[in-house]
Copies of this chain bind each other. A is one copy, B any other.
Amino acid sequence: MTRTDTRERILDEAEQLMGARGYSGFSYQDIARPLGIRNAAIHYHFPTKADLGVAVIQRYRDMLAAAWKDFRAGRTSPRQQFDGYLHIFTHEAVRNQTLCPMGVLTADYFNLPDSMLEAGTTLKREVLEWLAEILASGRDSGDFRFEGNPEDEALMVMATLQGARQMARMIGTDAMMAIVTRLRSDLVADAGDRAA
């Protein structure tokens, strides 16, 4: 009940709802009711639904940027950083089978207002750049093993993660985790079993 954590709680609900039902799959009602506020209260903080959608993406970008900063501050290895990202990525998925904002972006693409597409393009770029960077330095350090350039590998990793998270709805979260674990072990050099 302090000052405006209302805004933050609106964003919490919106992120959950967007992750579960997509951008056009939730209404202001869906947010207002559980929070015990009125529709217009949301319009006060976010005049249009597009503003709300952009804010969700923005906050998610900030969260990731903070996590990446922590990773770097902790002088963690590329592999540990990658595992940290996997944890962030899979944790919510296991809890409630939602998509991350980036998954929503690609899934709901043709329903999104321009402002969200712009914010989403930035998010996509940041994620792929970070991933490519961690993959590149990880290959140099011997943490990772893969062929081709790190940018392509980053795309491959993202596609598999997003696909797995989405498929979790139909195959269950255990099967999703199996895919993620397999992806990781294909990438990690000392996986043990080795190849061909």
Contact = CB atoms under 8 A, between A and B. Distances in A.
Number of copies: 2
Chain A binding surface SS class = helix
A24 B24 CA distance: 8
Given A105-B170, A107-B107, A166-B107, A193 B147 contact: yes
Contact of A196 (B152, B155, B159, B195): B195
A22 B166 contact: no
Given A20-B110, A22-B108, A24-B24, A167 B196 contact: no
A64 interface: no
Interface of A: 20-22, 24-25, 97, 99, 103, 105-111, 120-121, 124, 145, 147-148, 152, 155-156, 158-164, 166-167, 169-171, 175, 178-179, 182-183, 193-196
